[in-house]
Structure 1
Amino acid sequence: MTAVDERELIEKVERGERLGQEEGTRLYELDLLTLGRLASRIREERYGRKSYFNINRHINPTNVCKDICKFCAYSASRKNPHQYTMSHEEILEIAGSAREKGAKEVHIVSAHNPEAGIDWYLGAFWKIKEAYPDLHVKALTAAEVNFLAESNGLSYEEMIDLMIENGVDSMPGGGAEIFDEEVRDYICKGKVSSDQWLEIHRLWHGRGRQSNATMLFGHVEKREHRIDHMLRLRKLQDETGGFNAFIPLVYQRENNFLRVEEFPTAQEILKTYAIARILLDNIPHLKAYWATSTIGLALLAQEFGADDLDGTIERESIQSAAGAASGQGMELDEFVSLIRNSGFIPVERDSLYNELQIYEG
């Protein structure tokens, strides 16, 4: 890219003009600090120095899965021989304990267990909502929705209605991985397709509900695949307005079957955050999910467009199975101190980004 081309690209971003596939890919050619400056300007115009988080509890109720995803270290049908499926009583006990510790949300995602049955999945949400109606239930990725719909002869619309009837408040963004069909066929053949993932979220938004969107990067995909992924999300958001946050997930390298030799540098990860903030002008929040990026890099990502760090998590099994240091979550006081010491203002939010408490000074 020539100096003139670079200047024109920067000026387009500064004017707030939308970039397409080619220009979005060329953003990676800009130096890191330039991208950081452009993304930070967008972030600060919207949120100032506020950084959002919530007090939440991740629950992963089963690791038994019918699918074979090469990047997954969590599924018991692969390298992990220790299968488990929690009872409703166990799930309810975890939710109640988390609520006593101040959690406002339970984030429930797991594997595609063909033996558990739809009543096991939906019954867990119903029982949590019955016992703790003030807890926000964020549950079922689009991949899980697709699995349950197909295995029970239901349409997506019918499955979504059952989710709402049984207490699901919002959907997480998992299962998106990378939308490029060729890459997807290699890393998660047989899983929900990109078009199906987008359709499920379109229908969910059509019910007046909100969700998040993820992108798994740093494995076998190329930069242009990431840009394509973001632009497909931007297009759907133009239609529905239902996405709360975009969450770039950094691929975890341990205990899985992907043959990845070159992993993204910290610079590449930060560039991806910044580019996401620039391209996704219609998705309000950009989350640096510390469970995959590490807490240090997530804090630094605040200077590259990220305005959300997810939450305290308390316990997490899926990313930690592949090497992430998120297994035991993080204490609230430590989380707040880390955000404050990085020069930002910690803001506790609820699951739909209503501000609950600002931790000044």
Structure 2
Amino acid sequence: MDVVEKVRGGERIGLEDALKLYELDLFTLGELADERRRALHGKKTYFNINRHINPTNICKDVCKFCAYSASRKNPNPYTMPIEEIVQIAKSSWEKGAKEVHIVSAHNPEAGLEWYLGMFAAIKRELPEIHVKALTAAEIHFLSEEYGLSHDEILDRMVESGVDSMPGGGAEIFDEEVRDYICKGKVSSEGWLAIHRKWHERGKMSNATMLFGHVETRAHRIDHMLRLRALQDETGGFNCFIPLVYQRENNYLKVEEFPTGQEILKTMAVARIVLDNIPHLKAYWVTATINLALIAQEYGANDLDGTIERESIQAAAGAGSAHGMPLEEFVHLIKDSGFIPVERDSLYNELKVW
């Protein structure tokens, strides 16, 4: 049986077959992924009204792909006071944001109370806002820095009002690639173990994959299969987000960048392989809005959100510094033939536009 028949027959796809999917022509692969997407979500494309806050760029780790942390390539270190972070959250809430997405660097100077205190302070002011915060990499950093177990950090996150976890810090799970691009960061096993523990607390999280740098297609598929195995176990992942590597202002010397076709193929393969993760996000920040809109035809059913402001990817060349106006976001989805659905952070539908 060939791989197309296997996919259409509902068979689960392993490493060998997933590599064969990449060899299909773009339109056949897109058709297979679109069939999966329609079976799950019809023509709905989800987004939320959210605000990204990046409270510090001082980092003890040196990831070769990072253009955000304060370094020779970005010599402007900052750490926001908690009052400023709360003020940003309040301002965004007043403009309609339902979620704050808080990811920052591994700052050894800021203190554990600063990291956890900002969430508690936001919740005191805005009890209804959804706080999505702390990647597994940040949790691992706090655990090592302050001599606490992952469980203790996770329990304190829950106490401080964190509602869900973002998927950052996953990069690529292959240990050799990981050692090369982000040595010293949480290990692949550590990342998966932290998300497992979070799911065991009845909480949801997302999962990312950074691709388009020094990894191979097989590394990407291995990454997806490890996520699929954990999802079989816990069911705690809302969404998978393939992040396209941003090339500017960093130390990863990459000669060949993925083509638009390769990005779309990776989206489509992800939709087929990750049969148990309900949502696939084309994160417009790293994919560009135009490619993200096309990705709706290749399995993606979520475009993230309005964002308002974003610093991490923007530092590496993404056009996300000032977010995307809501009306434009809705208009672009409609224009591309899909139904814009505003959601909350856990994919409950709030409004069909």
Name the TM-score class by shorter chain. over 0.9
The 2-side partners of 1:16 and 1:64 are apart by: 47
Aligned partner (choices 264, 269, 274) of residue 275 of structure 1: 269
* Cα shift readout 1:13-54 (whole Å, capped 9, x = no counterpart): 001101111111221101100110000001001111000000
- When the two chains are superposed, the root-mean-square deviation of aligned CA atoms in Å is 0.6
Aligned with 1:192 (options 174, 186, 190): 186
Where does 1:156-195 land on structure 2 (aligned, <5 Å)? 156-195=150-189
Aligned equivalent of 2:278:
284
TM-score relative to the length of structure 1: 0.97
Counterparts of 1:294 and 1:348 in 2: how far apart (Å)?
Answer: 20
- Residue 48 of structure 1 corresponds to 42
Q: Secondary structure at 1:38's aligned position in 2?
A: helix
In the alignment, residue 257 of structure 1 is paired with which amino acid? Answer: Y
Q: Give the one of 71, 74, 78 matched to 1:80.
A: 74
Deviation at 1:78, TM superposition (A): 4.2
Corresponding residue pairs, total? 353
Spell out the pairing of 1:22-171 with structure 2 (5 A cutoff).
Answer: 22-171=16-165
Percent of aligned pairs with the same amino acid = 74
Residue aligning to 1:4: none
Measure, in 2, the Cα distance between the counterparts of 1:16 and 1:350.
30
Residues 181 and 187 of structure 1: CA distance in aligned 2, closer, same or farther (over 3 Å): same
Q: Which moved more, 1:74-83 or 1:86-95?
A: 74-83
Unaligned residue ranges in structure 1 (runs of 5+): 1-6
Q: Which residue of 331, 340, 346 maps to 1:337?
A: 331
Q: Say which SS state the counterpart of residue 16 (structure 2) adopts.
A: helix
In the alignment, is residue 238 of structure 1 matched against residue 252 of structure 2? Answer: no
What is the distance in 2 between the residues matched to 1:39 and 1:27? Answer: 10
- Cα distance in 2 between the residues matched to 1:273 and 1:90: 37
Q: CA deviation at 1:107?
A: 0.1
What is the aligned counterpart of 2:3 among 1, 9, 30? 9
| Aligned structure 1 segments of 4 or more residues deviating by more than 4 angstroms | none
**1:348 and 1:356 in contact (8 A); partners too:** yes
Unaligned segments of structure 2, at least 5 residues: none
SS of 1:174 mapped into structure 2? coil
CA drift of 1:87 comes to 0.2
SS in structure 1 of the partner of residue 97 of structure 2: coil
Specify the SS of the correspondent of 1:159: helix
TM-score, normalised relative to structure 2: 0.99
Q: Deviations over 1:293-341 (max 9, x none)?
A: 0000000000000000000000000000000000000100000000000
> Separation in 2 of the partners of 1:340 and 1:16?
30
Shift of 1:176: 0.1
SS class of match (2:2): helix
Question: CA–CA distance in 2 between the matches of 1:316 and 1:244?
Answer: 22
1:201 aligns with 2:195: yes
